[in-house]
Structure 1
Amino acid sequence: MSDRQVESLITTNQEKSSSYRWVVYGLFVICNTFGFLVANTIGILLPSITADLNLSPTQQGMLSSAPYWANVVLMIIIALWVSQFPPKILALVTVLLGGVLVLMQAWSQSFIAIFVARLLFGVTMIAREPARALLIRQWIPQNQVNHAGGISNLFFGIMVSGGVLMMPVLLNYFGGNWRNVMITFAFIFFALALVWGIFGKENPIAQEASDKSTNEVEIFKRVLSFKDVWFAGIGFMGALMSFASFNSFLPTLFVDFYDISLSKSGLIIALYILPGGFSGLTFGLLSKSSRSRSGILMISGIIISMSFLSMTLIDSYHLLIGIAIINGIAWGFFPLLFMVPFHIKNIRPREIAVSSATVMTMAAVGSSIGPTLTGFLQESLGSLEISLRFMAFSPLTLFIAGFLLRKTPQSN
Structure 2
Amino acid sequence: MAQIGITGAAERAEAPTAVRWKVFAFVAVLTVINLADRTSLSVGMPAIAKELGLSPAMQGVLLSAFFWSYALLQIPGGWLIDRMGPSRIIAGSTLLWGVFQTAAMFAMNGFTLLLTRIGLGVAEAPLFPAGGKLNALWLAPQERARGAVIMDSGSYLGAALGGAAIAWLIYALESWRLAFGIAGVVTIGLGFLAWRLLRDDPAAHPGVNAAELAQIRAPAPQEAAEKGRTGDAVAARVVAPMMLGRFGWAMMNFGLLTWGPSYLAQARGLDLKAMGAATFVIFGAGFLGALTAGFLADALQKRGLRRGVTLKLLLTISGLGTLAGFLLLPHVAEAGTAVALLAATDFLLCFGSLYWSLPAMLAPPGKEGTVGGFMNCAGSVGGIVVPIAAGLILQATGAYAAVLTFFAGCAATYVIGTLAIPFARRGAAR
- Deviation of the 1:181 alpha carbon: 0.8
Q: Deviations over 1:260-319 (max 9, x none)?
A: 223323333333322232232332233332223212222211211221333334231221
Alignment map for 1:8-407 (pairs within 5 Å): 18-175=17-174, 177-203=175-201, 205=203, 222-223=233-234, 225-287=235-297, 288=301, 289=306, 290-344=308-362, 347-349=364-366, 351-405=367-421
Give the TM-score taking structure 1 as reference length: 0.84
- Deviation of the 1:48 alpha carbon: 0.8
- Find the structure with the greater CA-based Rg: 2
Kindly indicate whether the alpha-carbon contact (under 8 Å) linking 1:294 and 1:402 is maintained by their aligned counterparts in 2. Answer: yes
Distance in 1 separating the partners of 2:277 and 2:392:
27
Kindly indicate whether the alpha-carbon contact (under 8 Å) linking 2:34 and 2:158 is maintained by their aligned counterparts in 1. Answer: no
Q: Deviations over 1:53-98 (max 9, x none)?
A: 1111111112112221113322112322343223322111111111
- Deviation of the 1:113 alpha carbon: 1.2
- Deviation of the 1:326 alpha carbon: 1.4
- Deviation of the 1:18 alpha carbon: 4.0
Q: 1:329 to 1:261 in 2, by over 3 A?
A: same
Distance in 2 separating the partners of 1:253 and 1:283:
27
Name structure 2 gaps, 5 residues minimum: 1-13, 206-229
Distance in 1 separating the partners of 2:105 and 2:169:
14
- Give the 3-state SS of the residue equivalent to 1:38 in structure 2: helix
Q: 1:34 to 1:72 in 2, by over 3 A?
A: same
Which amino acid counterpart does residue 92 of structure 2 have in structure 1? V
Q: 1:352 to 1:240 in 2, by over 3 A?
A: same
- Deviation of the 1:41 alpha carbon: 4.2
Kindly indicate whether the alpha-carbon contact (under 8 Å) linking 1:231 and 1:405 is maintained by their aligned counterparts in 2. Answer: yes
Distance in 1 separating the partners of 2:140 and 2:257:
35
Distance in 2 separating the partners of 1:411 and 1:357:
29
Kindly indicate whether the alpha-carbon contact (under 8 Å) linking 2:67 and 2:121 is maintained by their aligned counterparts in 1. Answer: yes
Which amino acid counterpart does residue 368 of structure 1 have in structure 2? I
Distance in 2 separating the partners of 1:118 and 1:299:
34
Identity level (%)? 18
- Deviation of the 1:407 alpha carbon: 5.6
Kindly indicate whether the alpha-carbon contact (under 8 Å) linking 2:168 and 2:276 is maintained by their aligned counterparts in 1. Answer: no
Kindly indicate whether the alpha-carbon contact (under 8 Å) linking 1:41 and 1:247 is maintained by their aligned counterparts in 2. Answer: no
- Give the 3-state SS of the residue equivalent to 1:260 in structure 2: coil
Distance in 1 separating the partners of 2:252 and 2:125:
20
Which amino acid counterpart does residue 77 of structure 1 have in structure 2? P
Which amino acid counterpart does residue 279 of structure 2 have in structure 1? I
- Deviation of the 1:411 alpha carbon: 12
- Give the 3-state SS of the residue equivalent to 2:48 in structure 1: helix
Number of residue pairs matched?
A: 382
Give the TM-score taking structure 2 as reference length: 0.81
